[in-house]
Amino acid sequence: MRTVQLLVLGGIAAYIAMLPCYSFAKNIAVLAVDYPPFTSPSSVNNGVAFSLLQQKTTDDTVTWTPAFAPPARISQLIRENKWCASFYPVNKDIASEKIKLSNGLVTIGLVRAKLDAGDFEWTHLSDLAGHSVALLRTSHESEFFKQFIDAGLNVIEVESVKAGVDMVLRGRVDFSLADNISANLNSDLQFSRTALERTNITLFVNPNCDFPKWYKN
């Protein structure tokens, strides 16, 4: 009986040994700075960039774990080759693969109820002073958050872009944060021509790390 058990266990071990390494779940740390609304530990889904990364991932054995740190610390980890993935830019003198998570520039702006007053734009954010705006919940110390307070807007914090857009549709706030990729706008909404931010969402990957084919081309 013991001989049979050993043979069975040996067969299982041999089968496992023949499986590719990426057959097992991979937990990959992604370096990022606190930069809402793109990457932030206090933002929904850790920010727009992590949401796009999850959408791009086709291998359900891959789990992305945000690793937030100050820029200096991230730069040190990258220089010491103690990283596998990073949203923080990697210097050109360090080997890395760039994976674009968006086909074009991601525009972060505001939406409002559609009016007959023409384009939705502003010269200075303070032009919108006195109005209410729904923002994703984040640190009140972040520069992104403080710019709205400094401009004189009344900030209402929400847990998702959809929640903010719904508040606009219900007339509970004047504006809501949105981006041109994740926001599903309808004919009752108007996206601002003025951008709060424009950027390519790019993931930097360390070629020395063992990655499965996890993403869509």
Q: What is the pLDDT along the chain (217 residues), one digit of tens a residue?
A: 544 444 333 443 333 333 333 334 588 999 998 877 788 888 888 988 999 998 888 888 888 999 999 888 998 999 999 999 999 989 888 999 999 988 778 888 999 998 877 889 999 999 999 999 999 877 687 788 899 999 999 999 987 778 898 999 999 999 999 877 656 567 788 999 999 988 788 999 999 988 766 665 5
Q: Please report where in the chains the tokens 């023949």 appear, as a residue.
A: 18
Residue-level pLDDT at 216: 55
Residue-level pLDDT at 19: 35
CA angle 107, 112, 114 (to 5 degrees): 115
The answer to whether 205 touches 99, Cβ cutoff 8 Å, is yes
CA angle 32, 36, 39 (to 5 degrees): 30
Q: Residue 89 carries which DSSP code?
A: P
For residue 25, the SS3 value is coil
Q: What is the CA radius of gyration of the chain?
A: 22
Give dist(CA 146, CA 168) in Å, integer. Answer: 21
Residue-level pLDDT at 191: 92
Residue-level pLDDT at 215: 64
Pick the closest to residue 65 from 29, 26, 25 (CA basis): 29
Give dist(CA 186, CA 18) in Å, integer. Answer: 51
Pick the closest to residue 138 from 31, 33, 41 (CA basis): 41
Sequence-distant (≥ 6) Cβ neighbours of residue 38 within 8 angstroms: 47, 48, 49, 87, 108, 197, 199, 201
Domains and CATH numbers, the chain: 21-103+200-205 (3.40.190.10), 106-198 (3.40.190.10)
Residue-level pLDDT at 126: 97
Extract the tokens encoding 61. 């054995």
Q: How far is CA 48 from each of CA 10, 13, 148, 161, rounded to the nearest angstrom?
A: 47, 42, 19, 10
Residue-level pLDDT at 185: 61
Q: What is the largest CA-CA distance in the chain?
A: 85
pLDDT tens-digit series, residues 5-35? 443 334 433 333 333 333 345 889 999 988 7
Extract the tokens encoding 50. 């992590």
pTM of the full structure: 0.61
